[in-house]
A and B are shown apart, each in its own frame.
Chain A
Amino acid sequence: MLKKLLPFVEHAIKKPVWDCRMCGQCVLHSTGMTCPMTCPKTLRNGPCGGVRENGNCEVKPEMQCVWLKAYDRKVALPMPTVWKEHFNELRPPVDMRLQGTSSWINLITKRDQQTPAGWSTQDEAH
């Protein structure tokens, strides 16, 4: 019951505020409270090289680059230091199976931390 109800509640709250796309693996806290899934390329690790001179999006010229907004907010907003430190972390590929599920449940059950066996952010190259 809760599993069915929570996605509705979550969407009702997060859609108006962050334009939430219900990816089911929320990273808002580490992206300057800006949803990376609203980037037309759904980039989760920073802006592409197509950001326009005025700071707007390559794909939607009328919209400010999601990652420019994220970066400005990360710098300006009063947020826990640890959240700011997470800004540059390597976020894994999205698990498409979680689309439409509640990220709150996935957070509690740690389902949102499951990554493919080959993926590891621990052993960085350099």
Chain B
Amino acid sequence: MSILREKLENSNDTVFTAEFPSIDGGGMASVARDAARLAPWFDAVNATDNPAAHAHTSNTTTAIAMKMHGLEPIMQVVCRDKNRLAIQSDLMGGALHGIENVSLLTGDDVTAGDEPEARRVFDIDSIQAINITRIMMGGKYLSGRKINPAPNFYIGAVENAAAPPFDYRIERALKKHRAGASFLQLQICYHPDRLEAFCKGVAKIAPNLKLIPTVVLVKSARPLSFMNDKVAGIDVPNQTVARVAAAADQAKEAYDLTLELARHALTLPGVRGLHVTDFRHDDSLNSFMHDLGQKPRN
């Protein structure tokens, strides 16, 4: 059983997940470096699938490489670049290498990336992908053809608590849960009130669905403005950007802001952990985890 599943299903421990940096060359040495940096703090780490519609080393091979370096992967599978056949083969490839945690996403559109001229696929959507993963766990491909033995997945998904239509996001979380998702990693959210309403709503109708909100460690107001302007689905309120921009020490203010958001998120119903994004070279990760009362794992 994966550590993530064990902790979420059989304990009350708070879990911490992160994003593995995209691999663009650098070989296994770079994987080893990043794995060593993340391993002390995280239970499981996302192996992304062409995030923000940029081509990188594939999701399955990244997940395998992480596993080789002792890091438990959550293999993301995105619907933008692959049809239903390729998505099932991604999952089977992961299962072949003992990858248990998977997360099924719709994915950013191709226009968000650096090859906007590409054909978008979206043959199936994320909820259909979740359901197909569950079907595979029952020993069948979508077609009904047998898989023997059936793969063993721990299914996750994502949701954006802060994007409209807000009420419907709660129903959609339940829909993902019913399709087979056991946990939800949530999009970065700078509206604590929206996150709170979402978590309370989900806890009421899907009490077994484990929620993992995301925070991001930044060093100044600039990345906050960038996210607000360039990342569809993330809204950073003007006063939040202004608060960091106006501070004498922007890095400290940005850090404090993230810590406040994290502490608030961890108090919400249904929340079982935190997803921490740190934009790679940020050395504040260690102090951040210490401030949240975490001790490095062996």
A residues with a Cβ closer than 8 A to B are 40-53, 55, 58-59, 65, 67-68, 71-72, 88, 90-94, 96, 116-121, 124-126
Please give the distance in Å from A7's CB to the nearest CB on chain B. Answer: 23
**Chain A CB within 8 A of B15 CB:** no
| Contact A49–B158 (Cβ < 8 Å) | yes
Task: Say which residue of A50, A71, A93, A121 sits within 8 Å of B168 (CB atoms).
Answer: A71
Chain B interface residue count, Cβ-Cβ cutoff 8 angstroms:
50
**Chain A CB within 8 A of B122 CB:** yes
| Contact B164–A126 (Cβ < 8 Å) | no
**Chain A CB within 8 A of B125 CB:** yes
Chain A residues whose CB sits within 8 angstroms of the CB of B272 once the complex forms: none
Chain A residues whose CB sits within 8 angstroms of the CB of B171 once the complex forms: 88
Known interface pairs A41-B122, A119-B142, A125-B134; 17 further A-B residue pairs with C-beta atoms within 8 A, sorted by A's residue number: A43-B122, A45-B125, A47-B168, A47-B172, A49-B187, A50-B112, A50-B233, A51-B233, A58-B108, A65-B164, A71-B165, A71-B168, A88-B174, A90-B175, A118-B135, A118-B140, A119-B135
- Given the interface pairs A41-B125, A118-B141, A126-B206, the reply to whether A67 lies near B165 with Cβ below 8 Å is yes
- Specify which of A41, A67, A117, A119 lies most central, judged by the most chain B CB atoms within 10 Å of its CB: A41
- Given the interface pairs A52-B232, A126-B177, A126-B208, the reply to whether A93 lies near B144 with Cβ below 8 Å is no
A-B contact pairs, 13 of them (CB 8 A): A41-B109, A41-B122, A43-B125, A49-B159, A50-B160, A50-B232, A51-B163, A51-B232, A58-B108, A67-B168, A68-B164, A90-B131, A124-B179
Please give the distance in Å from B171's CB to the nearest CB on chain A. Answer: 6
Chain B residues whose CB sits within 8 angstroms of the CB of A96 once the complex forms: 123
Please give the distance in Å from A4's CB to the nearest CB on chain B. Answer: 28
| Contact A49–B128 (Cβ < 8 Å) | no
CA distance A7 to B177 in the complex (A): 37
- Given the interface pairs A58-B109, A58-B232, A59-B109, the reply to whether A50 lies near B163 with Cβ below 8 Å is yes
| Contact A41–B120 (Cβ < 8 Å) | yes
Task: Say which residue of A44, A53, A55, A125 sits within 8 Å of B178 (CB atoms).
Answer: A125
CA distance A47 to B144 in the complex (A): 28
Please give the distance in Å from B211's CB to the nearest CB on chain A. Answer: 14
Of all chain A residues, the one with the shortest Cβ separation from B141 is: A118
Give the A-B contact count at a CB cut-off of 8 A.
130
Of all chain A residues, the one with the shortest Cβ separation from B161 is: A49
State the majority secondary structure of interface residues on B: loop
CA distance A67 to B160 in the complex (A): 14
Within 8 A of A (CB), among B261-283: none
Of all chain B residues, the one with the shortest Cβ separation from A45 is: B127
Please give the distance in Å from A56's CB to the nearest CB on chain B. Answer: 9
Task: Say which residue of B84, B108, B144 sits within 8 Å of A50 (CB atoms).
Answer: B108
- Specify which of B143, B163, B174, B206 lies most central, judged by the most chain A CB atoms within 10 Å of its CB: B163
- Given the interface pairs A45-B127, A72-B165, A125-B134, the reply to whether A90 lies near B179 with Cβ below 8 Å is yes
Chain A residues whose CB sits within 8 angstroms of the CB of B126 once the complex forms: 45, 48
Please give the distance in Å from B245's CB to the nearest CB on chain A. Answer: 19
**Chain A CB within 8 A of B156 CB:** no
Chain A residues whose CB sits within 8 angstroms of the CB of B250 once the complex forms: none
- Residues 223-262 of chain B, each 1 if its beta carbon lies under 8 Å from chain A, else 0: 0000000001101000000000000000000000000000
| Contact A117–B144 (Cβ < 8 Å) | yes
| Contact B144–A49 (Cβ < 8 Å) | no
